[in-house]
Amino acid sequence: MKGVVLAGGTGSRLFPLTKVTNKHLLPVGRYPMIYHPIMRLKRVGCTEIAIVTSPEHMGDVVNLLGSGFRFGVDFTYRVQDQSGGIAQAMGLCENFTGSDSFIVMLGDNILADDFPIDVTEFMSGSTTIAGKAHVLLKQVPDPERYGVPRLLDDTIVEVIEKPTHPPSNYSVIGVYLFDPKVYDIIRTLEPSDRGELEISDVISHYAQTKTLSHGVVRGWWGDAGTLEGYQEANSLAKDLVYEEIPVSE
């Protein structure tokens, strides 16, 4: 199974920390932020990983990550030179993932734990998770900041992006498992009022066709995309250690 890390964007919500660098290169705990999704993907079996970032930061990202040798993976790089949103960035990886199912992680999402059960059951097509797309949810105190699922009998029927009146206290976090048909869905999307192709519209399509499943994150989850979230993620991740990453060159 292949992995995709989305590490584009302007980092405007973290300015001026991001004035001269990509936010995904900022430290979270003892590692650059982007190390966290890379290691979670590797630990659930992804050894081929695409990194999507903006043209002005590609050089710095490549200088940091290299070929993937130090991580025990192979990196492929894609340039997102439009501010087209998460779904548009995913679309850049169609040739990379090909006919395989794959995992997408947002580069500013920090997890306490791996998620191997979700991956295994999604790939096996078990009756526990019998979908073509799978998302992870987390209970949060402020769901209006995120994509929020509307649930009916523990089934997601739609996802609403940053709702004024959230239909649940869950957030769809930045971990998604998709089959290759997701690219056909992306091609049908129209830009939202924000001018972006919304990942919530992609997930809602799977929900409407009853091919969406979900799991719930039990450990902590940090969204380091805002200053408040970045500070919280640093506190949560301060003791995280990935033994696979060399501590020296």
**Residue found by looking up tokens 């929020």 in the block:** 148
Note the pLDDT of residue 151. 95
Note the pLDDT of residue 9. 83
H/E stretch holding 232 reads helix 227-236
Fold of 2-236: Spore Coat Polysaccharide Biosynthesis Protein SpsA; Chain A (3.90.550)
pLDDT digits (tens, 9 = 90+) for 15-39: 999 999 999 999 999 999 999 999 9
Judge residue 202's burial from the number of C-beta atoms within 10 Å of its C-beta, 0-12 exposed, 13-18 middle, 19 or more buried: buried
Note the pLDDT of residue 17. 93
Rg (CA), the chain: 17
Note the pLDDT of residue 125. 67
Q: What is the mean pLDDT of residues 76-87?
A: 93
Neighbours of 228 (CB within 10 A): 12
Note the pLDDT of residue 128. 47
pLDDT digits (tens, 9 = 90+) for 140-173: 999 999 999 999 988 999 999 899 999 999 999 9
pLDDT at 139 over 90: yes
Note the pLDDT of residue 10. 78
pLDDT band at 193 (very low <50, low <70, confident <90, very high): confident
Note the pLDDT of residue 248. 63
pLDDT digits (tens, 9 = 90+) for 89-132: 999 999 999 999 999 999 999 999 999 999 988 887 654 444 59
What share of the chain in percent tops pLDDT 90? Answer: 84
Note the pLDDT of residue 247. 65
Whole-angstrom distance, CA of residue 90 vs CA of residue 198:
11
**Residue found by looking up tokens 């998460």 in the block:** 86
CB 225 within 8 A of CB 18: no
